[in-house]
Amino acid sequence: MKLFDQARDMLAQAAETSGIDLSAASLVVGVSGGPDSLALLAVLGQLLTPEQLIVAHLDHGLRPESAAEALSVEAMAQGLRFHSERVDVAQVAQAAHLSLEEAARVARYDFLARVARREGAPVIVTGHHAGDQAETVLMHLLRGSGLAGLRGMRPAARLPGHPDLWLWRPLLSLGRAVLSAYCVEHDLRPLHDASNNDPAFFRNRLRHELLPALESYSPQIRQRLTHLAEIVAADEALLEDRTARAWDDIYLDGDAAHSALRLDEWRALPLGLRRRTLRRAIAALRPDLRDVGFRALEAARLVAERGATGAQAALPGGLALSVGYGRLLVASAAHDPAAGLPQLPTATARPLPVPGAVDLAGGWRITAERVTVDFAAIAGNRDPWTAYLAPEMAQLVVRGRMPGEHIRPLGLQGETKIKEVMIDRKLPAAARALWPVIATAAHPVWLPSLLLDERARVHPDDTDVIRLRCLPPDRT
């Protein structure tokens, strides 16, 4: 009764995790006809009423005998609600540029979700077992996974791509041999899927070639991989809780197209949490994106940690990361890259009185005032949105950059094109044309957050200097 007892206990735990009343809920059972799903259906038949069980079978359209197998599964489900569909997985794979294995996985979950919604069932149950778990952990290890991948499959989790539904795996702690023995003991006659031996599939090569080879070094490798998954799952749960609390501390705003984080607070997080919150920002916009590579994430992280305002980095899934004023933005291509940055309403020059202010688009503002500040404080200014100008720089305007216009960087005698400064500082192209330029009648003096002109330098004997600030909406 090992299988029955463990399946019963894991079902109870899954129901508690999901907050679902097991005595009343309907469950969609994914049944391929193999020994794992057949044993699952038999056990569920002992634990639940026939009215609660809905059998679902997907014909992947990959083998000539698959249509006959669908009829066999329908016979196995006699007396229960039954749903079957045929999907041309090869066509799905070609259209979506996926491997056959990945396309089959997506098609299965989509089909099971359709059945669940049609029947009003909140839960899908599959027959994944300990052997599947060992293979999954090893696959993730070979592909360079982090902890989330090394925990493998979870006994209860949201259905991938369908977060309104639950996916339960009550056989996850049981081995393939236990399930096969249960089928023999109860005179269950599972179907044989010849594609499970096809070396064209990566999982099959891993199951039939790599794992047996590893067993020559570690005879208990399968069990150790499943133990690793259990250990990592507990640690990952702790880290997920810590990540959620960090996220609450740094989250600014977001929608379907973007997530904005508090830049300074994000930069103050430990390295592990900086990585995890970036992944969470990506997941918020691309919940179905499975492969977020280490290199792409690290490149983006370094830009986020070191980049000046306007710096950008590409992310998987058609996303991009950009550094804004006090904010770190992860957004889709449809999101305006200039959003959250200072922009002129038009490029037309407007006077900036001292003291006084000029309003920009989106609630931003440039302010000017005369102040008496110790020269050491001016020299030590690290706020890129505040600049100090020599007292004679009083006749100022705020305007857009002119074609081919140059600026003389602080500390240098030579000049460089403003456009090149913007490119070098990775300012988004969409934000360059209307980026505010503070200038005299003769030359630019300040590009907020980017560069101060040498000719506007404050000298030690200057008094009553001009302080300029570029303020975001929440500080105006």
Q: What is the pLDDT of residue 27?
A: 98
Asked if residue 31 lies in contact with residue 111, where contact means CB atoms within 8 angstroms, the answer is no
Topology given in CATH for the domain delimited by 250-332 = 3.30.465
Q: What is the pLDDT of residue 1?
A: 57
Q: Which of 313, 330, 317, 309 is nearest to 260 (CA)?
A: 330
Angle, alpha carbons 227-228-231 (nearest 5°): 85
Phi/psi at 341 (5° precision)? -115, 155
CATH number, domain 2-217, options 3.40.50.720, 3.40.50.620, 1.10.10.10, 1.10.10.1590: 3.40.50.620
Per DSSP (E only), the strands in 44-152 are: 53-59, 81-86, 123-125
Annotated binding-site positions: 32-37
Phi/psi at 244 (5° precision)? -60, -40
Q: Which of 304, 295, 310, 311 is nearest to 277 (CA)?
A: 304
Instruction: Tell me how far apart the alpha carbons of residues 141 and 211 are, in angstroms, rounded to a whole number.
Output: 13
Helix (H) or strand (E) holding 183: helix 176-185
Annotated binding-site positions for ATP: 32-37
Instruction: Tell me how far apart the alpha carbons of residues 228 and 233 are, in angstroms, rounded to a whole number.
Output: 8
Count Cβ atoms below 10 Å from residue 372 Cβ, excluding itself.
Answer: 8
247 three-state secondary structure:
helix
Q: Each residue's pLDDT tens digit in the chain (476 positions)?
A: 578 888 899 999 999 999 999 999 999 999 999 999 999 999 999 999 999 999 999 999 888 888 999 999 999 999 999 999 999 999 999 998 888 999 999 999 999 999 999 999 999 999 999 999 999 999 999 988 889 999 999 999 999 889 999 999 999 999 999 999 999 999 999 998 888 888 888 999 999 999 999 999 999 999 999 999 999 999 999 999 999 999 999 998 888 888 999 999 999 999 999 999 999 999 999 988 877 889 999 999 999 999 988 788 999 989 999 998 788 999 987 777 677 789 999 989 999 999 999 999 989 999 999 999 999 999 999 999 999 999 999 899 999 999 999 999 998 889 999 999 998 887 877 889 999 999 999 999 999 999 999 999 999 999 899 999 999 988 87
Domain range annotation of the chain: 2-217, 250-332, 350-475
What global pTM score does this model have?
A: 0.73
Q: What is the pLDDT of residue 193?
A: 82
